[in-house]
Structures are given as C-alpha cells and as structure tokens.
Amino acid sequence: MNNTLNPRITRTTPVIVQGISGRAGRLHSRLMKEYGTRLVGGVSSRKEVAEINGVPLFGDCAAAVKATGATTSVALVGAFDLLAAIEEALAAGIRYIVTPTEGMPVHDALKAKRAVDAAGAIWVGASTPGMAIAGEAKLGFLPNDALIPGPVGIMSKSGTLSYESGYRLAMRGMGTSVWIGVGGDAVKGVRYADLVPFYAQDERTKALLIIGEIGGHEEEDFAAACIAHKFSKPVFALIAGRSAPEGVTMGHAGALVHGSHGTWEAKRKALEAAGGTVFGSLNEMVEGVIQRLR
Amino acid sequence: MYLLEHDAKELLTKLQIPVPPGTLVSDASGGNVALPAGPWMVKGQITAGGRGKAGIIKKAATPQEVSEHTRAILGRVVKNRRVDAVRIEQQVAGGSEAYLSLMIDAAAAGVRVIMAAEGGVDIEALPRDAIRTAVAAPDASAIAECAQELAAHFGGVKARALADAGAKLAQAFMASEAMLIEINPLFVKADGSWIAGDAKLVTDDGALERQDDTRAMLHARATAYPEAALKLEHGCDYVVVDPEGEIGLLTTGAGLSMMLIDELRAIGLKPYNFLDVRTGGLRGETTRLVKVLKWIGEGKNVKVILINVFAGITELGEFSRLVVKALQEVPEVKVPVVARLVGNGLPAAQQVFGAAGIALYPDLDDALVEVKKHLNDREGVKG
C-alpha cells in the first residue's frame, strides 16, 4: 500500500488520451474537454490525422509527454492492448493513468499493477468509468448529471450503481468531492484500502460512500484500513449481489462468491465493525446519507 | 471459468501435469467405453467442491460396479447442479497425500502458493500451522522458487515431490493464465514421483480469446459452461437466477443489475434473470437484444419484463428504438414491458416508448408499482 497516493486532479492537470482516434477516444476526449478537463494531446498510430477535438496527436506517449508536459493519461484501447499502453505511459513519465476498458486479462493486470507500483504511479481501473472531481474535471466518463460538488467521497466497483447513487444524491442536493471508480476487476490498480489515508486528510471530503460488490475481500481490506488509520469520517456502504448464487460470476470478473469468501454478510460485518453503515437498498442509502450529513 | 475436473485434467495433461488415466461418460447405458485398467474411481462432474460428501465420488472394483455407480450418479442434483457426466478414472495405488494450490492474490498483485503435508481435506479446516503459504511475483520461475522454499519445510519425499509439482504447476498456471489451480489430493509415491488426484482449475474468461485450448474446451462442452459460452459468443452477461422467476430483466451494468435483483427479492418479488446487456456494445443492431428477449421468453413463469437503464453515455432515444424493434422481431414474447430509464436522451425515449405503448417511468419505485400490477393481474401469458 502506498500512503502517499493522491488521486485529486484539477482544471490545470495536463491530460492525454491514448487511443484518441478510436470511436470511444474521439467521443470521450470531447466530453472530458467540455467538462473542464485540460486535454493537451492524444496518442494514435494513425499518422494521417494531425488533430482531434482541437488537440495535437502524437505517435507515442513519449512524444506526447515531451511536447505537452502531460502527467496524466486516459487509455481508451482494447483489453488486449491495455498492458502495453500502461507500460508505454509509465515509460514516458505519466504518473496517473485511468483505464476504462472492460475485460483486461488478469495476468496482464498483475503485470501492470507491479509496473505501476514500481513507478510509484496511480492506476485507476480497469473496468471503470474513471474518476471525477465534481465541477472541475474528470478522467473517463462519469455522467455529468450525477456530478455536483459536495462533501461525499465515492469509491465504487460498479459504474452503473455509482451513477445511480451519485445521481439520486445529486437530485437531493447532495454532491461529491473526489469520486473514484476503482472498477469491477479482481486485479486492479487503486483499491478502496489504498485511498483511506487520502480521504482522511482531504478537507473537502466529509464522509465516504463505498459502493461494493460481492466477491474478493476489498471491502474487508478497506474496513481493516479504516481501523488501522483511525478513519473518523462517516463511512456509508452499498453492496450489490446479496442474493447472487454461489460460484457464478455476476457480470464483473471480481464478483464471484466461493464458499464463505466474498459474501455480502462477511462484508457487512467487516464494515460495521469498522464503524460503517451498510444499507440494504438505494433508497435507504440516499436517506441515510442525507440525514447524517444535513 | 471453473472447469469440470475432467476438463481441468485434460488441460493439465497438455501442460505436463501427471494425472490418472480416465475417461468421460455421460450416458448411463454405458455402451462401449474403453476403461483404463482398474480398480476405478467414478467421479460425478460438477463445478463445486464437497463431491465426496455429497456421494457422487465412488470407488469401484469391478466393471459392473463402475456401471452401477455411473447409473446412480448421473442425473443427481448436487448444490443446484445436475450431474451430466462422470469421469471414470484409475485409482492411484499406494502413496501418501499432500495439498498444493496456486492462486491469484489480487491485493499483492502476485501468485499465492499454498502447501500442506495432508491432502484430500478441506484446506480451510486445517490448523494454520499445518499450512505453508507465500506470495510470488507473477512469473513461472519466481513461483517455482517460492514453492521450493515452502516445500523444504516438509522434509523427505514430500519436499521433493511438492517442489517438483510446484515448478510444473507454475508453468501450467502461467501458460493457461489460470486464476486458481488446486491439486487436492496430490499423491506422493515412495520414490518422490507424484500425480494429481483431484484438480480444480479456474481460468480467466478475459483471456479466452488468446487461450486456444481453453476456448476449444468451452466450444466442445458449451452446455457445461453456459455463462462463459454466452459471454464469449454474445458479448453480454446473462444468468438465470431463479428458473421460477416472474420478472424478466433487461438491464445494463453488473452492479446496478445485481442491486436491482437484491432489491426486488427484498420486497418479495421474483426476478428471473441477471443481465448486463452492455448497451455500449449494441452498435445499432437488434441482434443481442433479440437473443436476450428470447432467453427471457424461456422463463415459464415470466409475467412481465422490466427494463432498467441508467444512461451515462448511452443515447436513450436510440436504445429505445432498438428495444421496440427487437420486441417486434420476437412476437412470441407477449408479456408486457415496463421501462425505467434515466439519463441521456430521455425525452426521445419517452416519445418512442409512448408510441409503442410501453409504460416508461424515470423513477424506479413508480416502475415497480406498474410491475406489481402486472404480476397481480395476470397468470403467465406466453405465446
């Protein structure tokens, strides 16, 4: 675990998009820029295109970083190209990389994670809508309707369930501070527990909402980290998959229950032992968060 | 994908792991099955542990006993899984038992090696000091080295066998891009040679496209791996969570879809399926939606279909047009459809669904009131 991880970005953080000339690259680089992200360039192997969405294109990350001073990258490339994209970004000096792509092979993710840790960089993903600082900038494609500035830090394994949660909170006037989609894969970059020290000291975060899923033990590790760091802000949690059958993967590669491991009940117990509140439904979560923070 | 023991052993054999000779039988009448030399084990093939306790693993001393056990085991239902095949395998003569497994350790970004000098037992039930475990970097030589260090604690032929098995399994683990390989028991002979008694192998669905042997296995026995086969072929996740379920779900996003199932069940409703249709992958075609609607149509008690989509990026106007078109292409699905949509392009979707007579609500609670009305009003209606 790296205690110095800081996932916050600002309107001045220089960002490139790897794979910018693809369908997703073109769309999301435009949407990010419109939201306020400082997009400074794109990486594409298609030499005939010089510019997309008003930013220059480069043949590789090294050239893009050299010309633009980018520190941060959003990689919108295929699942089998992700490891190479991450390695290329790290070699070019990128310190923060977000990879929304679903279906990254697990053994590739192991190698990527080791490379990211060795470089002391931050990796958010894979299988994530990305991250956002509401009202400022975003990396990826969290929906604008769910993004209003406020006191709740969000960390989520699920894109859609976090959209729904953030949106319902926003409809009630409750906004977010730093929203990180850690993603639904088992092996990934940033995990809940890694960011406990950050959220503890982040002044704009008054409470933390964990949107979890059955499978693995990230929620349990997070609970242990809260205890270890004496995390004193309110912790709320919503965990999907309470009624999922054992041994069947429910969409997300990480959401697989085996025996007594990764069950909803085990996660609830761990989070409650760390002082957290686990809600049974979206409606209860919204009411609970609003009551506590109003 | 959690492989059946037989498939795991076929795959491991290709990767130089010794296993007892065996054959797969799915027909109780027997026919002309070429058995290996006896005596035998008759092992029911399901993807779950505890098969011995459940009575679907039996010893057989004669070919007649093999047939009797095969007949008795085939068709049994254990842990909600039907036994469609047995592996008839030569019993391993002599030797002592040990335990060896390799698994992905997500938090450590490595491969965890676990060993014990006892085998054939529930590893979690062993006392902590009976187990040796450590995490290695994700490459075959690091895992082999780690296994060798752990094995040294056991002494004698077991140390030699576990170190050798660790090195060979490390190769197999990396080559097959496994999530888990567990050999329990691992039989160790007096001369230090070893053989995999049982084998549990979980592969990475995400790597299937570049794992030809695993993919071939999946294609050859798609009925044994319905979810993985479906994902590979259709690009979406679909699981029947309750064959008696009354509400078909057309949903996107794994987390929100799971949560919806949890919430429906919590208020006493019976969802039929889990679905992450991946709206982003529809690409203007009805193909995937038509498939999904047909699958949902197979639910004999399904009385209503609930669409629930939070569109962050998806354009709901286009999505709703595709849904209406897909519904027209499956006239056999006659149950009413209730939609809850929110997000990008909602006004366009309201027009499209309005014209098609599909009730649309931006609020999930309102949609559920409508769903309940259909559950109360109707007996199962199907074409």
Task: Give me the residue from A145, A187, A282 closest to B104, CB to CB.
Answer: A187
pLDDT band at A253 (very low <50, low <70, confident <90, very high): low
pLDDT per residue as tens digits for the range B104-150 = 999 999 999 999 999 887 777 888 888 999 999 999 999 999 999 99
Q: Is the pLDDT of residue B55 over 70?
A: yes
Q: Is the pLDDT of residue A104 over 80?
A: yes
A211 touches chain B (CB under 8 A): yes
pLDDT band at A247 (very low <50, low <70, confident <90, very high): low
Task: Give me the residue from B239, B254, B344 closest to A184, CB to CB.
Answer: B254
* DSSP letter for each residue of B13-47: HHTT-----EEEE--TT--S--PPSSSEEEEE--S
Which residue of B103, B124, B313, B318 to mutate against A (max A Cβ within 10 Å)? B313
Rounded to a whole number of angstroms, the distance from the CA of A251 to the nearest CA of chain B is: 5
For residues A244-270, give the mean pLDDT. Answer: 73
pLDDT band at B382 (very low <50, low <70, confident <90, very high): very low
Beta-bridge mates of residue A75: A18
* Contact at CB, B274 and A244, closer than 8 angstroms: yes
Question: To 10 degrees, what angle do helices A159-171 and B254-266 make?
Answer: 70
pLDDT at A1: 44
**Chain B from 16 to 45: CB within 8 A of any A CB:** none
Identify whether the C-beta of residue A142 lies closer than 8 Å to the C-beta of residue A98: no
pLDDT at A250: 67
Task: Give me the residue from B109, B207, B253 closest to A161, CB to CB.
Answer: B253
3-state DSSP of B76-142: CEECCEECCCEEEEECCCCCEEEEEEEEEECCCCEEEEEEECCCCCCHHHCCHHHEEEEEECCCHHH
Chain centroid to Cα B210, Å, comes to 19
Task: Give me the residue from B104, B204, B312 closest to A163, CB to CB.
Answer: B312
B242 touches chain A (CB under 8 A): no
For residues A36-61, give the mean pLDDT. Answer: 94
pLDDT per residue as tens digits for the range B212-247 = 999 999 998 888 898 888 888 888 999 999 999 999
Q: Is the pLDDT of residue A272 over 90?
A: yes
* Contact at CB, B138 and A107, closer than 8 angstroms: yes
pLDDT band at B380 (very low <50, low <70, confident <90, very high): very low
- Cα–Cα distance measured from residue A44 to residue B265, given in angstroms and rounded to the nearest whole number: 47
Q: Is the pLDDT of residue B383 over 50?
A: no
Which residue of A164, A238, A258, A282 to mutate against B (max B Cβ within 10 Å)? A164
Residue B277 region, left (φ>0) first, then alpha (ψ -120 to 50), else beta? Answer: alpha
pLDDT per residue as tens digits for the range B283-295 = 899 999 999 999 9
Min mean pLDDT across A181-190, B144-153, B280-289 is at: B280-289
ipTM for the whole complex = 0.91
pLDDT per residue as tens digits for the range A94-103 = 999 999 999 9
Structural domains in chain B, CATH included, are 18-91 (3.30.1490.20), 96-203 (3.30.470.20), 235-382 (3.40.50.261)
Indicate the helix (H) or strand (E) that contains A90: helix A82-91
Alpha-helix residue ranges (DSSP H) falling in A229-281: 264-273
Q: Within 13 A of B169's CA, how many CA atoms are on the CB side?
A: 36
pLDDT per residue as tens digits for the range B244-273 = 999 999 999 999 999 999 999 999 999 999
- Cα–Cα distance measured from residue A258 to residue A265, given in angstroms and rounded to the nearest whole number: 13
Which amino acid is it at B212?
D
pLDDT band at B379 (very low <50, low <70, confident <90, very high): low
Q: How high is the mean pLDDT of chain A? A: 94
A111 touches chain B (CB under 8 A): yes
- Cα–Cα distance measured from residue B132 to residue B112, given in angstroms and rounded to the nearest whole number: 10
Radius of gyration, alpha carbons of chain B: 25
Identify whether the C-beta of residue A135 lies closer than 8 Å to the C-beta of residue A151: no
Provide, rounded to the nearest whole percent, the portion of chain B with pLDDT above 90: 80
- Cα–Cα distance measured from residue A215 to residue A257, given in angstroms and rounded to the nearest whole number: 5
Which position has the higher pLDDT, B343 or A19? Answer: A19
**Cα–Cα distances in Å, from B92 out to B39, B137, B188?**
9, 33, 10
Q: Which residues of B touch A216 (CB under 8 A)?
A: 106
pLDDT at A49: 84
Q: Which residues of B touch A27 (CB under 8 A)?
A: 313
For residues B338-351, give the mean pLDDT. Answer: 94
For residues A5-14, give the mean pLDDT. Answer: 96
Longest dimension (CA), chain B: 78
For residues B344-355, give the mean pLDDT. Answer: 95
Catalytic residue list of A = 252
Token pair in block for residue B218: 């999946």
Which amino acid is it at A68?
T
